[in-house]
Amino acid sequence: MAANNFRHALFCAIITLIISYPIIGFNLEAQGIDVTLTGADASTIVMVLLAAVIVFLFQMFREQIMGGLKSLPHPLPQSSKEPMAENRRAKIESWVLTGIVVLALFWPFFVSRGAVDLATLVLIYIMLALGLNVVVGLAGLLDLGYVAFYAVGAYTFALLSQYVGISFWLALPIGALLAALFGLVLGFPVLRLRGDYLAIVTLGFGEIIRILLNNWTTLTGGPNGIGGIPDPTLFGMEFGRRVKEEGNTSFHETFGIAYSGEHKVIFLYLIALVLAVFTALVIRRFMRMPVGRAWEALREDEIAARSLGLSRTAVKLSAFTIGAFFAGFAGTVFASKQGFISPESFVFLESAIILAIVVLGGMGSQIGVVLAAIAVTILPELAREFSEYRMLIFGAAMVLMMVWRPQGLMPMRRIHIELKRQE
């Protein structure tokens, strides 16, 4: 047994060396016109060797280590307890949420402009992640082309403002409805596919929409994107230094205060906050309605759900459409915040980031998703040197979450009875 263990550990250590040494230990560099190979510095090589040693030791004493870990107290102790009664839990949750929202309402007036702007971005991601959460977390449909609906929302506003001169407030519902319509139309044929095929098809759709946006130069400006997207107005008051549209007045002149760019940033933040709260509330309602229960039923066991008379297509389509609707919302806010959009902002990586947020937050859980959105967006801003490693860590975190806690950091919990399997 010990010898066997040793052989296995040695094998794993050698594999570690093979997969890391050639890639990390040698650097291909363009020196003038030649590509040359340089060895990495000593510290890197020591790190690689150290990694191999750690793998060796871990595999060698795997059982002891795993046993030791098990005996440690669980990092999140409540997870092994019975969940709280649902109404009590809901009460606490809604108090906490209300508190957070009230805090979020007053917070921007005390912090810097950059922070408020970043927070707006976080709120956009929260909307996106909440929307995707309906599709992936609740209905169990892996949508890898979610960014397409986000793009539809953003482009709807941009195009309507450019050609028709529509304002943010009118574009918001139109963008969201159009995205929902897209979701409905795309969803109809693809939803009968099985989980993993569905994922690939949505990925394909996402890419096709991006390529079309990029190639349809006459309408969308192609790679040049669309600029000059107006800011939201407050009852016809604009927040810019100068009024751009006739008939509007400017905010600072109406109230006789000095112009400050912060007004606009804070106003946009507040809009995003209201919309994010709206998104969260609507989806919460949906989760308690029969359709929400049906999503989860279908996710848990499609055959059982169908035999109970649920229409597979209708249930899936509703989740897909609602998810797309909120992506359209987020897209409109994004276009307004940027003032300029181009297909670059709607690449697959964006879909992957939103998915990572949903996965990290715990599929199905709203608070978890909100916290994950905050963490994923703000951490790279706080530590710039961390930003290079951001995607590496996302990738690793997605794998680790699936292996250790597929239900997420803050999983959704319900009262349930588990049937013990008879051994």
Partner 1 sequence: MRTSVKKLVTAVSTSVALMGAGHAAAEIQIGIAGPMTGPVAQYGDMQFSGARMAIEQINANGGVMGEELVAVEYDDVCDPKQAVTVANSLVNDGVRFVIGHLCSSSTQPASDIYEDEGILMVTPASTSPEITERGYELVFRTIGLDSMQGPVAARYIASQSPERVAIVHDKQQYGEGIATAVRDTLKDAGVEIAMFEGITAGDKDFSSLVTKLKQADVDYVYYGGYHPELGLILRQADSAGLDARFMGPEGVGNKDINTIAGEAAEGLLVTLPPAFDQKAENQALVKAFEDKGEDPSGPFVLTSYTAVQLVAEGIEAAGSTDPFDVAAALREGTFQTPIGTVEYDQAGDMKSFEFVVYEWHSDGSKTPVN
Partner 2 sequence: MQDLLYFFQQLINGLTIGSTYALIAIGYTMVYGIIGMINFAHGEIYMIGAYTALIAITGLAALGIAWLPLILIVALICAMIVSSSMGWAVERVAYRPVRGRHRLIPLISAIGMSIFLQNYVHLAQGSRNIGFPALIDGGFNFGSGDGFQMSLSYMQITIFITTLICMTALSLFISRSRTGRACRAVSQDLGMANLLGIDTNRIISATFVIGAALAAVAGLLLGMYYGSVDPLFGFIAGLKAFTAAVLGGIGSIPGAMLGGLILGVAESMTSGYLSGEYKDVISFSLLILILLFKPTGLLGKPEVEKI
User: Quick one: what does residue 352 bind among partner 1, partner 2, none, with the CB cut-off 5 to 8 Å set by partner type?
Assistant: partner 2
Closest CA to 406 of 414, 394, 398: 398
Residues 324-343 that bind partner 1 (CB under 8 A): 337-342
Given 173, 195, 261, 395, the residue binding partner 1 (CB under 8 A): 261
Half-sphere exposure of 410 (CA within 13 A, CB side): 13
Rounded Cα distance, 86 and 71, in Å: 30
Given 99, 406, 414, 415, the residue binding partner 2 (CB under 8 A): 406
Interface with partner 1, residue 94, by CB under 8 A? no
Interface with partner 1, residue 113, by CB under 8 A? yes
Interface with partner 1, residue 214, by CB under 8 A? yes
User: Quick one: what does residue 376 bind among partner 1, partner 2, none, with the CB cut-off 5 to 8 Å set by partner type?
Assistant: none
Cα 168–120–282 angle (5° rounding)?
Answer: 70
Tokens matching residue 129: 């992640």
Given 3, 33, 42, 103, the residue binding partner 1 (CB under 8 A): 33
Rounded Cα distance, 329 and 276, in Å: 9
Interface with partner 1, residue 25, by CB under 8 A? no
Cβ proximity to partner 2: between 1 and 403 the closer is: 403
Instruction: For residue 226, give the H/E element and its range.
Output: strand 226-227
Q: Is the dihedral of CA 183, 186, 187, 193 positive or negative?
A: negative
Tokens matching residue 281: 């509330």
Interface with partner 1, residue 224, by CB under 8 A? yes
Residues 14-53 that bind partner 2 (CB under 8 A): 15-16, 18-19, 22-24, 26-28, 30, 35-37
Contact 283, 136 (CB under 8 A): no
Closest CA to 226 of 345, 309, 129, 144: 345
Instruction: For residue 37, give the H/E element and its range.
Output: strand 34-39
Cβ proximity to partner 2: between 136 and 276 the closer is: 136
Bridge partners of 386, per DSSP, are: none
Choose one: 76-84, 154-162, 210-218, 308-316; the region binding partner 2 (CB under 8 A): 210-218
Interface with partner 2, residue 134, by CB under 8 A? no
Given 27, 94, 98, 112, the residue binding partner 1 (CB under 8 A): 112
Minimum CB distance to partner 2, residue 401 (Å): 8
Q: Which residue has the tokens 């919990």?
A: 413
Give me the phi and psi of 28, to 5 degrees please: -85, 125
Cα 159–163–168 angle (5° rounding)?
Answer: 60
Interface with partner 1, residue 68, by CB under 8 A? no
Rounded Cα distance, 281 and 273, in Å: 12
Q: Please give the radius of gyration of the chain, using alpha carbons only, rounded to the nearest integer.
A: 25
User: Quick one: what does residue 265 bind among partner 2, partner 1, none, with the CB cut-off 5 to 8 Å set by partner type?
Assistant: partner 1
Q: Which residue has the tokens 């450019």?
A: 162
Closest CA to 331 of 132, 165, 187, 198: 132
Choose one: 117-125, 236-244, 267-275, 389-397; the region binding partner 2 (CB under 8 A): 389-397
Tokens matching residue 111: 């912090």
Choose one: 10-18, 241-249, 253-261, 365-373; the region binding partner 2 (CB under 8 A): 10-18
Cβ proximity to partner 2: between 114 and 406 the closer is: 406
Q: Give the contact letters, 380-419, x = binds to partner 1 (CB under 8 A), - = no.
A: -xxxxxxxx-------------------------------
SS3 319: helix
Contact 230, 244 (CB under 8 A): yes
Choose one: 172-180, 195-203, 223-231, 370-378; the region binding partner 2 (CB under 8 A): 195-203
Q: Is the dihedral of CA 360, 362, 366, 367 positive or negative?
A: negative
Bridge partners of 38, per DSSP, are: 27
User: Quick one: what does residue 204 bind among partner 1, partner 2, none, with the CB cut-off 5 to 8 Å set by partner type?
Assistant: partner 2
Interface with partner 2, residue 3, by CB under 8 A? no
Interface with partner 1, residue 67, by CB under 8 A? no
Question: What residues line the site for partner 1 (CB under 8 A)?
Answer: 30, 32-35, 112-115, 117-118, 121, 211, 214-215, 217, 222-225, 227-228, 240-241, 261, 264-265, 337-342, 344-345, 381-388
Question: What residues line the site for partner 2 (CB under 8 A)?
Answer: 15-16, 18-19, 22-24, 26-28, 30, 35-37, 136, 140, 142, 144, 189-190, 193-197, 199-201, 203-205, 207-208, 211-212, 215, 303, 352, 355-356, 359, 388-389, 391-392, 394-399, 401-403, 406
